[in-house]
Structure 1
Amino acid sequence: MSIPLLSAFYFGAVEHYALLARSECAVIDTGEHYERQSYRNRSSIIGPNGRQDLVVSITRRSGEKMPMQSVGLSYAEPWNAQHVQAIRTGYGQTPWFIHYMPDVEDLLLKKYDSLVELDLATMRMALKWLKMDIAIELRENFVEDPSGLLDLRNSLSPKKTLPLGVPAVTSYTQVFADRHGFVGRLSILDLVMNAGPDARGVLKRL
C-alpha cells in the first residue's frame, strides 16, 4: 500500500495505529497549518458518562494560520493534570491501567514547548507499547506534492467519516460497554488499557 502521509496527532485514534500496523513507514507533516477540531490537539476517551474529548490548550490568536511546528502550548489552565484525572476516571478499573498509567502520567505532567513535541512524544510512547517497528519520517516543510503518498492529513479527522485506506476498528473489549455499547474511534489509550499486550494483535487481525 502507499506510504501514509499524516498530520501530527495527540495520542492518535485506534484507527491511526490500525493503519500504521499495515505500513512499514509513514510521513508526518509538521510544516502544515494547524487546524482546529482535529486529532492534532485532541483525543477521545470513554468515561462513566460516555465519550469525552481531551483537548490540549495551545497559544494561537484566533483566526491566525500557523505552521504546526510553530504552535506552542498554554499551561495557564492545568489541562494536562485534567487529562490525567480523566484517564484515571475512565480506565482505573481496566486490566492494564496499572501497567500503562505511570508512562501516561510521566509524559503528560512534563511541560512541552510545542504541540508537535507533545504529539510526537505520545505517538512514540504508543508505538513502544504496541512494539511496532515502523520508520517515521518527519517533514518540516509543508508537503505540497503528495504524489506516491496516501494523503490523510485532512481526511482523517474526528469530524469526518473514515477515508478509504484506513481500517475501521469495530470490536474489542471496552470498559463501560455495558452502559454505552462499543464506542469507536477512541484514543489508542482505550485499546491498550483494555487489551494490554494483545492490542497489537487486535490491530493485526483487522
Structure 2
Amino acid sequence: MVLLQPTYFSPIIQYVAMVKSNKILFEIEDNFQKQTYRNRCYIYTASGKHLLNVPIQHSKENKQKTKDVKIDSKYDWQKLHLKTLQTAYSSSPFFEFYIDDLLPIFERKTTFLLDLNLKCHQFVMKALQLEIPVLKTTEFNKEPNYLDLRNLALAKNNKSYNLERYFQVFGTNHGFISNLSILDLLFMEGPNTLNYLESQTVKL
C-alpha cells in the first residue's frame, strides 16, 4: 500500500508509484498546503513548461483540512484549462483518443477540490485500463508504517527522478521536460502509457 496526496492531474511520478502498488491510500485528513500539486499541474505548451492552477477559497481559519477546501467558482478556470490543453495538445498523437472522457471534468462544476482530484484520478485509471483499490485516511498519521510518498505532491520539489524520455510535441523547441502532468504522457503515449509507468526504475 502506498500513501499519496490526491492531486490535480498528478505528476507522472505519482502514477509510477501507484502502478507498483496493490492498494492506494489517499491522504485527506491533513492540512491544506500552498504550492503543492493539490490544486496545480504542469503541462507542455509552445512556450515550454506551463502551470495550470485551480483557484481555491481561502479559509479565514489558520488551518483548513484538504478535504474541506472548496474551489473558487468566481473564476472560469475550467474553460481556461480546457482551452490551454486543446492549444497545447491538439496535435499530439492521442489527444482525440481521450478528450471525450476528459470533457466532463471541465464542463461540470465541482465544489470541493478533493472531489475534483478524485475525478481526475478516476479518468486516468480508466485511461490506463487499470483497477487498483483506493482507500482514504480517517485520521492524520505523521509516521505511518507503510510506504509514505505524500512528499511527491510538493510542487517545489525539482527532482527529475530520471524518468525515461518519451516524445513531446514541443521537445525540439525546449527539450525534454520530465515529470509533467500525467496528461502529457497520456496524450503522447496513449495505450503505451501503462507500459511506460511500469518500466520506470526510479528510486521513490
Instruction: Say how many residue pairs are matched.
Output: 200
Q: Does 1:84 align with 2:78?
A: no
SS of the aligned residue for 2:150 comes to coil
Q: Does 1:183 align with 2:177?
A: yes
Unpaired segments of 5 or more residues in structure 1?
A: none
SS of the aligned residue for 1:72 comes to coil
Separation in 2 of the partners of 1:187 and 1:160? Answer: 14
Separation in 2 of the partners of 1:127 and 1:69? Answer: 21
Deviation string for 1:50-101 (max 9, x for gaps)? 0111100111137731001110011111011100011001101001111111
Q: Which of 36, 42, 45 in structure 1 is aligned with 2:43?
A: 45
Question: Does the Cα contact within 8 Å between 2:28 and 2:66 map onto a contact in 1?
Answer: yes
**Other-structure match for 1:193:** 187
CA deviation after TM superposition for structure 1 residue 168, in Å: 4.0
Residue identity over aligned pairs, in percent, reads 28
RMSD of the alignment, in Å?
1.7
CA deviation after TM superposition for structure 1 residue 139, in Å: 1.3
* Equivalent residue letter for 1:10: Y
1:24–1:63 Cα change, 3 Å: same
Higher strand share: 1
Q: Which of 155, 159, 164 in structure 1 is aligned with 2:156?
A: 159
Q: Does 1:68 align with 2:71?
A: no
Separation in 2 of the partners of 1:170 and 1:71? Answer: 35
SS of the aligned residue for 1:99 comes to helix
**Other-structure match for 2:116:** 118
Question: Does the Cα contact within 8 Å between 2:4 and 2:152 map onto a contact in 1?
Answer: no
Q: Which of 115, 125, 142 in structure 2 is aligned with 1:127?
A: 125
1:62–1:160 Cα change, 3 Å: farther
Unpaired segments of 5 or more residues in structure 2?
A: none
User: TM-score under structure 2 normalisation?
Assistant: 0.92
List, as ranges, runs of 4+ consecutive aligned residues in structure 1 with deviation greater than 4 Å: none
SS of the aligned residue for 2:147 comes to strand
Separation in 2 of the partners of 1:172 and 1:158? Answer: 22
Deviation string for 1:15-53 (max 9, x for gaps)? 111111111112101111111110100010000000111
SS of the aligned residue for 2:119 comes to helix
SS of the aligned residue for 2:34 comes to coil
* Equivalent residue letter for 1:76: K
CA deviation after TM superposition for structure 1 residue 144, in Å: 3.9
